[in-house]
């Protein structure tokens, strides 16, 4: 539950970022949104429920970890609903390597990402989608933005800095104003938003990469359980492109067309507590927020969606041996999810220059 103390901390943090981004929602508004999410979830008409639940059960059986699912979320993916759109934040980098394993020697709990993509119109799998995945490392640092994220985590003023803002808020659709609506698109980026994107400061690329789902809309990628950083709970970012919207360059990097979805996967608090006790996560000096205190979690859970992955521990009693995180993502195939990074954009050059123009001296988002 959302606690009063958390609401106060939150409110104070919000106050400090008003200058940069207009008025963020109050703690009460976030709470209200969460309650709304629960009500919508309960009231949802269940479409294709049996088919979807069966598909998930089959997958679990095939992978033989059904009995090991220790951090099972309260959802069996039987709802054919849209996965809400949530900001990509300032740390997305286009043109990353096409590879299945993005670990690149980063220390942490090995994680197999096990994701199914379905079309919310038909409840059928979406074949061969491209998935760009990225996260911070166990101590909260994003490759490409190491100086900025490290400074933020030690209380500096970089993105996610404790002293600058507790969290980034959705730019909403009203010219950068924070959205207080609670629909599936209220956390979406928009091309007229004021989100500040900084160009990468280094050329590292650990925990970043693009891989393709198979014909049955199933994606398998390898990474580590993300750590956390100032103002956020642990999360893993994705951007999704339909088959025709992606290709591979000669140098094995991804050429992106228009994305259909941008979002973030979350993890059960009870799971992250255990992860937090393990090396090297226990050397992370930044306070980890719980999901209920994370401003983006409620947006990603809008309209009845469950944004936490199911976590199966491959060796019970030894999380360090690895986990499998699974989740189903419902796609709206006619939606176009904007790209605001100014790094490299093979798609819409107009959007690209728009993003470049909106780049400001201070990026004070934690996303």
Binding-site ranges for ligand NAG (CB under 6 A): 46, 49, 53, 57, 76, 78, 82, 95, 101, 103-107, 137-139, 141, 146, 184, 222, 242, 244-245, 249, 251, 253, 257-258, 260, 280, 332, 334-336, 344
What is d(CA 153, CA 162) in angstroms, rounded to the nearest whole number? 7
Q: Which is nearer to ligand NAG, 194 or 332 (CB)?
A: 332
> Using an 8 Å Cβ cutoff, are 344 and 256 in contact?
no
Residue nearest to ligand NAG (CB): 244
Three-state SS letters, 107-159: CCCEEEEEEEEEECCCCCECCCCEEEEECCCCCCCCCCCHHHHHHHHCCCCCC
Shortest Cβ distance from residue 128 to ligand NAG (Å)?
A: 11
Q: Report DSSP letters for 212-276, one per residue.
A: E--TTSEEEEEEE-----TT---EEEEEEE-GGGEEE-TTSBEEE--EEEEEEEE--HHHHHHHH
Shortest Cβ distance from residue 26 to ligand NAG (Å)?
A: 27
Instruction: Quote the radius of gyration of the chain (alpha carbons, Å).
Output: 19
What is d(CA 323, CA 71) in angstroms, rounded to the nearest whole number? 10
Task: Kindly give, in sequence order, each residue whose CB lies less than 8 Å from that of residue 330, ignoring residues fewer than 6 positions away.
Answer: 80, 81, 82, 83, 118, 119, 120, 305
Shortest Cβ distance from residue 112 to ligand NAG (Å)?
A: 7
Shortest Cβ distance from residue 315 to ligand NAG (Å)?
A: 14
Shortest Cβ distance from residue 336 to ligand NAG (Å)?
A: 4
Q: Which is nearer to ligand NAG, 174 or 249 (CB)?
A: 249
Q: Which is nearer to ligand NAG, 2 or 335 (CB)?
A: 335
Pick the closest to residue 89 from 29, 168, 166 (CA basis): 168
Shortest Cβ distance from residue 237 to ligand NAG (Å)?
A: 16
Q: Which is nearer to ligand NAG, 132 or 293 (CB)?
A: 132
Task: Kindly give, in sequence order, each residue whose CB lies less than 8 Å from that of residue 69, ignoring residues fewer than 6 positions away.
Answer: 60, 310, 311, 312
Shortest Cβ distance from residue 283 to ligand NAG (Å)?
A: 7
Shortest Cβ distance from residue 18 to ligand NAG (Å)?
A: 30
Q: Which is nearer to ligand NAG, 13 or 207 (CB)?
A: 207
Residue 178 to residues 25, 93, 299: CA-CA distances in angstroms? Answer: 7, 24, 12
Q: Which is nearer to ligand NAG, 180 or 245 (CB)?
A: 245
> Using an 8 Å Cβ cutoff, are 232 and 113 in contact?
no
Q: Which is nearer to ligand NAG, 23 or 315 (CB)?
A: 315
Q: Which is nearer to ligand NAG, 26 or 104 (CB)?
A: 104
């Amino acid at each position: 539950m959302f606690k009063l103390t958390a609401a106060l901390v939150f409110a104070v943090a919000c106050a400090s970022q008003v200058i940069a981004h207009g008025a963020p929602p109050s703690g009460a508004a976030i709470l209200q949104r969460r309650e709304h999410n629960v009500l919508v979830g309960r009231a949802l008409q269940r479409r294709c429920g049996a088919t979807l639940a069966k598909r998930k059960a089959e997958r679990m059986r095939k992978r033989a970890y059904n009995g090991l699912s220790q951090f099972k979320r309260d959802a069996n993916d039987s709802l054919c609903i849209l996965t809400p759109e949530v900001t990509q934040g300032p740390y997305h980098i286009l043109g990353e390597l096409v590879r299945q394993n993005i670990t690149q020697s980063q220390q942490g709990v090995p994680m197999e990402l096990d994701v199914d993509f379905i079309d919310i119109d038909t409840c059928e799998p979406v074949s061969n989608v491209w998935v760009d995945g990225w996260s911070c490392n166990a101590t909260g640092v994003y490759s490409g933005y190491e100086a900025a994220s490290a400074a933020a985590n030690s209380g500096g003023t970089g993105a996610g800095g404790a002293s600058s803002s507790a969290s980034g808020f959705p730019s909403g659709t009203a010219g950068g104003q924070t959205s207080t609506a609670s629909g599936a698109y209220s956390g979406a980026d928009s091309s007229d938003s004021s989100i500040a994107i900084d160009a990468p400061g280094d050329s590292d690329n650990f925990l970043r990469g693009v891989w393709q789902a198979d014909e049955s809309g199933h994606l398998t990628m390898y990474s580590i359980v993300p750590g956390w950083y100032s103002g956020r709970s642990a999360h893993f970012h994705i951007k999704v492109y339909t088959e025709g919207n992606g290709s591979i360059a000669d140098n094995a990097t991804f050429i992106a067309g228009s994305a259909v979805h941008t979002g973030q996967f979350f993890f059960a608090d009870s799971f992250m507590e255990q992860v937090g006790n393990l090396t090297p996560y226990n050397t992370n000096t930044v306070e980890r927020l719980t999901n209920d205190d994370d401003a983006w979690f409620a947006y990603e859970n809008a309209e009845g969606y469950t944004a936490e992955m199911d976590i199966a521990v491959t060796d019970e009693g030894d999380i360090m041996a690895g986990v499998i995180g699974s989740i189903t993502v419902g796609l709206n195939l006619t939606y176009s999810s904007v790209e605001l990074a100014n790094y490299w954009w093979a798609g819409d050059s107009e959007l690209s220059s728009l993003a470049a123009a909106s780049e400001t001296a201070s990026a004070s988002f934690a996303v």
